[in-house]
A and B are shown apart, each in its own frame.
Chain A
Amino acid sequence: MKLLVPRAMALPMALATLCIGVAPAAAVAPAGQDEAWRNANERVAKIGGWRTYARDSLPNDTSPCAIAGPTTGETLTGAAAMTAAVAPRPWPPLSWQQAEGSSRRVAVDGDLVATASKARAAWLAAVHAEASLQLAARHYDAVDAAADLATRLHAVGNLPLAEAVHEQKARAEAAIGCLDAVHERQHARWALARHIKLDPVAAASLRLPENLPALPTALLAAPRQSELLARSNQASPGAPLALRLAELESTYRHRWAVAQRHEKEIRPLVEKLREESVLRYNGMLIGPDELLKVAREALDAERAALAALAAFWQADIALQSALMGHPESGD
C-alpha cells in the first residue's frame, strides 16, 4: 500500500504519533521515505538549531500526575495539625525530663497523647504523599521526554521500533505510578482530615507543605541506652516502658543516621553525577537518552532520601509518644 504524505504534513504526522505512542509504519515506509528524509533535514535546517531551541516552550500536554490542588489558604503545619487534633489542650513540651513521670500520667493523658501522635503521623503521611507525588511527576517528565525523543528518533528512521516502544512502555508504567501517587495523596489527605476532624469542605481546601520538615541537626536529648536498660533491670513497674524506650530510641537514632547520610553524602554525590552527565553530554560522550537516564537515577536517589526522612519522622513520633508514656501510638 502506498501512503502519500504531503510534504507539509509529514512532520505534523510524526508529532501526532507522540499522542498515540507508537509511530505508524508509514513514517519510515519506503513509499515516501526519500521525501520524508529530505523533509526532516530541511526542517531542522530551517529551525536553525540550538539558538532557536533555547527558546523552546513546553507543549500543553497534561501529565497524569497533574492534580487540581487548592491554591489558596494557609498551609497546615504539623504543629497546627496536632493542635487541631487535641484542641483545646496545648501540646506538652517534649523532653525526657517531662517523660519521667509520664508512666504515671498515662492513665490520665493517654488518650490525649495517642490522639496527638496519630494526628502527627497522619500529617506526616499526607506530606510524604504530597512530596512523593511531586517526585512521581518529575519521574514522569523524565520518562515522557525520553519516550518523546525515542518516538521522534524512530519517526525519522534513526532508532529501531523496539527501542522506541521500550521507552513508550516505561512512560506508560510511569503513568501508572502517577495514578498511584495521586490516589495515595488523596487518601492520606482524607485520613489526616479525619484525624483532625475537618469538615469535607475544609478537607478539600487543605493545603500542606510541599516537603517534609528537614532532618534536625541534633537528636532528641534522651537518656543513653545503657541508662534505660539499667532502669529496666530495677524490676520496677517502669521496666517494660524503659525497654520499649530503648528499642524506640535505637530505631530513632538509626533512622536519623541513615537519613543524614542520604542528605549529607548521597545528595551531593548524585548532584555531582548530574553535573558530570551534562558535561559528558556537552562533549558528545553520551547522548540525550543517557542524560535523561541519569536524571531518572537521580530521582530514584531523591525518592530513597524522602523515604528515609519519612521513616525518621515516624520513629520520632513513636519515640516522643513513648517518652510521654504512650509507647504504642504513632508507631
Chain B
Amino acid sequence: MNSRRQFLQLGAAAALGGAATAATAVSRSALAALPEPVIQTSPLTQVPLVPNNGRPYNPVVTLNGWTLPWRMKDGVKEFHLIAEPVVRELAPGTRANLWGYNGSSPGPTIEVVEGDKVRIFVTNKLPEHTAVHWHGQRLPNGMDGVGGLTQPQIPAGKTFVYEFTARRPGTFMYHPHADEMVQIAMGMFGFWVTHPKQKHPLIAEVDRDFCFILNAFDIEPGSATPKVMTMLEFNLWCWNSRMFPAIDSFNVRQGDRVRIRIGNLTMTNHPIHLHGHEFEITGTDGGPTPKSARWPEITTDIAVGQMRQIEFIADELGDWAIHCHKSHHTMNAMGHKLPTLIGVDHTGLAAKIRKVVPDYMVMGERGMADMQEMEMPLPENTVPMMTDTGPMGPLEMGGMFSVLKVRKEQKPGDYSDPGWFKHPPGTVARQVGAGETAMTPATRDPGTPTSPAGPVELTVRKPGGNAGHSSHH
C-alpha cells in the first residue's frame, strides 16, 4: 500500500510515536493516545486488507479504494478518520478538488466483524464543522452522527470519538450529517462492511467480495471543484469517485462466487446491469435477504441512499460489461443544449462556419461517435464525453461503466487485470462476407396490411461487400 505514513502496529512505543504526530493536529491532550492516521492518495484498487488480529474474515476489495487499518486496544478496534481536503484523479486528465477522508474520496472502507467493539476517532481538518453518520448501524442514539440532533458538530481542527458495537452483519456506509448536501457533493463518504462472526445461513462465503459507492459530481468542464448547490443536474457519474475509463475492472476466476456490494449516494437512482450472468440480491441495507425473497435478475435499480448486494457464479468466460443502464450515466461531461445534427448535410456550410471560426470541424451529423475518433483538444481538466479504446476499437463510454473479467487462470486472491479476453475462434460477431447467405429483409411499412393485392414492396438484396448501411431497403 502506498501510504504516506505507514500504519504502526500495536505496541506501546509505536502508540506513543503515533501520539506525537497526531497531537500536532488536535488540541486536546486527552487524545494523546490517538492511533496514527493512515493516509492513501492512490486512486487504484488496493489489495484487500487481511486481518492480523481479532476474529478472522474474508476481506472485501474496495473498487479504486482501500481498507482502513485499525489498532486493537484492550479488545477495541480503533480507527482514525481524518476529514480533509483531497485532490482525486477521477480519470486521467481530470483531477477534482474534493473533501474526503485520509487522503482520498471516497474515504477508506471500514471492515469489522459482527460483535466487534469499535472506537472511531474523527479529526476534522475541514474549514467547517462536520459529523459522521454511520448509515444503517444499530448503535446508541448519541453515536448516530447527526450534527445538532444527536451530538454537537465536530468543530474545525477538533477530534471527536465514536464508540459502538457492530451489532449486525451487513453492508453499510458512512457520510457526513453536517452541511450534508455540500459535504456529500464534495466527495465525503465511505463504505463499511460488518462480516458475520460465524457461518450465517443467509450470508454465503464468497470467493470475491467487491464494494463501491455510486456518486456524482457537478464539475464544469475546465474547472476542478464541484458545484455544491447542484440539485439534480450532475455531470460526472462515478463509482468511488472514478469514472470510466479509470474505474478498475472486476477480475475473477471462472466459477467464483462473486459478491458486489453497491451503495448509492448520488441524487438519483441507478439501474445497475451486468452482462452475461444472472445475479440475486442477497442483501440490502437492512441485512441479508431471505432466500424466499431472492429471484434471478440482470439489472437492479438502486435508489438514493440504498445499498444492494448482488451475488452470482461467474461461470461465463469473457469481458462482461457492468454499468448503470441510464445511458447518459455512461458518458462523461457533455452539453445538454446542443441541437441534434444527425442527417444535416454540411456541404457549403462547413466552409461558411470555418470562415467565421477557423478551427471548426463538422461533428455530429452522422451521430456522436466521430467525436472519439477526432481526438480534438478539450478544455483543461476535462475527460472526453465518450472515450477509451477496447480490443475491438473505440469503446465510446464514460462514467459508470466497468468490465467483469472472468478467466480460467485468475488465481484465488489475484485481483490483477488479466488483460483483454482472447475469444475462441468463431465466437466473435463479424462482418458478413461475400457469397454468404443473408436473411431476407422484412417489409418496411408495418402499417400496410399484408395482402397480395396491397402495395407491399418486397426487396431482396444480394449481400453487398462494402457498405454497412446498405441493408436499409
Which positions in A face B, CB cutoff 8 Å? Answer: 11, 14-15, 34, 37-38, 40-45, 47, 49-50, 53-54, 56-59, 138, 141-142, 144-145, 148-149, 152-153, 156-159, 274, 276-292, 295
- Closest partner residue, chain A, to B384 (CB atom): A283
Known: A42-B469, A44-B365. A145 touches B345 (CB 8 A): no
- Which B residues from 337 to 351 make CB contacts under 8 A with A? 337-351
Task: Please count the residue pairs between chain A and chain B whose beta carbons lie under 8 angstroms apart in the complex.
Answer: 167
Measured between beta carbons, the chain B residues less than 8 angstroms from A295 are 356-357
- Which B residues from 342 to 396 make CB contacts under 8 A with A? 342-357, 359-366, 368, 370-371, 374, 376-379, 382, 384-385
Interchain CB contact under 8 A, A286 and B335: yes
- Closest partner residue, chain B, to A283 (CB atom): B378
Contact with A along B88-119 (1 / 0, CB 8 A): 00000000000000000000000000000000
7 intermolecular pairs with C-beta atoms under 8 Å apart? A57-B348, A59-B352, A277-B357, A279-B378, A279-B379, A282-B378, A295-B357
Measured between beta carbons, the chain B residues less than 8 angstroms from A42 are 469, 472
Measured between beta carbons, the chain B residues less than 8 angstroms from A41 are 342-343, 469
Measured between beta carbons, the chain A residues less than 8 angstroms from B44 are none
Interchain CB contact under 8 A, B353 and A291: yes
Measured between beta carbons, the chain A residues less than 8 angstroms from B362 are 49-50, 53-54, 56
Interchain CB contact under 8 A, B338 and A148: no
- Closest partner residue, chain B, to A155 (CB atom): B344
Known: A49-B365, A53-B362, A282-B377. A145 touches B335 (CB 8 A): no
Chain B count of residues within 8 A CB distance of the other chain = 49
- Closest partner residue, chain A, to B336 (CB atom): A285
Centre residue among B333, B342, B350 by max chain A CB count within 10 A: B350
* Partner of A283 from B364, B365, B379 at Cβ < 8 Å: B379
Interchain CB contact under 8 A, A278 and B359: yes
Known: A45-B366, A58-B352, A283-B384. A288 touches B345 (CB 8 A): no
- Closest partner residue, chain B, to A158 (CB atom): B340
Interchain CB contact under 8 A, B370 and A50: yes
Interchain CB contact under 8 A, B356 and A45: no
Interchain CB contact under 8 A, B351 and A284: no
Question: Is B17 engaged at the interface, CB distance under 8 Å to the other chain?
Answer: no
A41–B343 Cα distance when bound, in Å, is 5
Known: A40-B344, A49-B366, A145-B356. A158 touches B339 (CB 8 A): yes
Measured between beta carbons, the chain A residues less than 8 angstroms from B357 are 274, 277-278, 291-292, 295
- Binding site of A, secondary structure by majority: helix, strand, loop or mixed? helix
A sample of 13 more A-B contacts (CB under 8 A), given A15-B348, A148-B349, A278-B359, is A43-B345, A45-B469, A49-B370, A53-B346, A53-B350, A58-B355, A145-B352, A152-B346, A153-B339, A153-B341, A282-B376, A283-B335, A284-B385
Question: Is B298 engaged at the interface, CB distance under 8 Å to the other chain?
Answer: no
A33–B23 Cα distance when bound, in Å, is 75
Interchain CB contact under 8 A, A276 and B379: yes
Question: Is B334 engaged at the interface, CB distance under 8 Å to the other chain?
Answer: yes
Measured between beta carbons, the chain B residues less than 8 angstroms from A11 are 345
Centre residue among A14, A276, A281, A283 by max chain B CB count within 10 A: A283
Interchain CB contact under 8 A, A149 and B469: no
Question: Is B56 engaged at the interface, CB distance under 8 Å to the other chain?
Answer: no
Interchain CB contact under 8 A, B349 and A152: yes
Question: Is B222 engaged at the interface, CB distance under 8 Å to the other chain?
Answer: yes
A211–B445 Cα distance when bound, in Å, is 62
A56–B376 Cα distance when bound, in Å, is 19
A276–B223 Cα distance when bound, in Å, is 12
Interchain CB contact under 8 A, B221 and A280: yes
Interchain CB contact under 8 A, B385 and A56: no
Centre residue among B352, B359, B370, B378 by max chain A CB count within 10 A: B352
Measured between beta carbons, the chain B residues less than 8 angstroms from A277 are 357
- Closest partner residue, chain A, to B472 (CB atom): A38
Centre residue among A152, A280, A290, A295 by max chain B CB count within 10 A: A152
Contact with A along B246-259 (1 / 0, CB 8 A): 00000000000000
